A and B are shown apart, each in its own frame.
Chain A
Amino acid sequence: MDQLDKRIINYLQQGFPICASPYRQIAETLGIGEAELLTRLETLLADGILSRFGPLFHAEQMGGALTLAAIKVPEQRFEEVTEIVNAFPEVAHNYARNHALNMWFVLATEHREQVASVIADIEQQTGLSVYNMPKISEYYVGLQLEA
């Protein structure tokens, strides 16, 4: 990751235009060629420096729901439970954290009622309790981290 990669990452965290040739527009702003921008983005995605590039959808605005949930996973079952949980397409993110509640994941569902059924399925398939922590209020979301 060099200085140009960092500029691309920082710039593209702020947004991306909807027009016929959006990459050309961004490339011009950054003072580079369109082909170079596309190649750099491919590499950043292939290397996992970017998890994703594209539209970020808001489950609640789509009529669906989001929640944060956690499980106390016995250490020796961690890999197995990770596989079960990650296999659900509704699991958008999943993080291991240093706590007795050591697995924390975000569920994003297209329909509101799916949250309860996905949680019930995860509990049934893992044999573990899921602590559901849907937001009561959102005070802030959206800080972008500078590369």
Chain B
Amino acid sequence: MDAIDRQIIQATQAGLPLVAEPYQAVAEQLGISTEQVMQRMIAMQNSGVIRRIGAVPNHYKIGYRYNGMTVWDVDDALIDELGAQVAALPFVSHCYHRPRHLPDWRYNLFAMVHGKSEDAAEQQVAIIAELLGAHARDHQVLYSSKILKKTGLRIAG
């Protein structure tokens, strides 16, 4: 990633221009060719710097009012195997192994679920609980009550 890539990131991190030729608009803003913008963005997509180009919906506003971060206390020795199984469930959007903070926070496996109703979300939690069985020594569901910020990554100018 060089200075021009950085400029492209800065020019697009708040959003892609909503004009017929958005990459040309970015190119004009930066004083480089459209071809160069497109080639560099393709290269950044191939290297994974750009995860994807697309739309990020507000979960609440498209009907998913129950967004739960489910957290589980499982044996560290089994977590990779269990994490892979939880991640394979069709409704889990993110799944991670994260550190505990004892004694306050004993949970090491995190899985996000999203329901249009509380029942729908709780059913998903129940499926994870059943899958983990006795391997889950404890769990909690932390529902989000408000989106305080959702801007995505920003690099400074």
- Which A residues form the contact surface with B (CB < 8 A)? 1, 6, 8-9, 12-16, 18-24, 34, 38, 41-42, 44-45, 47-59, 61-63, 68, 82, 85-86, 89-99, 101, 103-105, 108, 110, 131, 133-143, 145, 147
Contacts and interface: CB of A to CB of B under 8 A. Distances in A.
Contact of B156 (A89, A96, A101): A89
Contact of A93 (B93, B96, B150): B150
Interface residues of B, number: 77
Contacts of B18: 23, 38, 41-42, 45, 53
A1 B62 contact: yes
A85 B50 CA distance: 26
9 contacts: A14-B52, A18-B45, A42-B18, A51-B151, A52-B14, A58-B48, A138-B97, A140-B94, A142-B94
A131 B34 contact: no
A131 B101 contact: yes
Given A58-B49, A62-B49, A97-B145, A53 B16 contact: yes
Interface centre among A23, A54, A57, A135 (most CB of B within 10 A): A54
Contacts of B61: 1, 47-49
B142 A99 contact: yes
A140 B87 contact: yes
The secondary structure that dominates the A interface is mixed
A131 B62 CA distance: 31
Interface string B80-116: 1001101110111111111101001100101000100
Contact of A139 (B87, B146, B151): B87
Contacts of B63: 147
A147 B57 CA distance: 8
Given A9-B62, A57-B13, A131-B104, A110 B156 contact: yes
Among the interface residues A6, A134, A136, which one has the most CB atoms of the partner chain B within 10 A? A136
Interface in B37-54: 38, 41-42, 44-45, 47-54
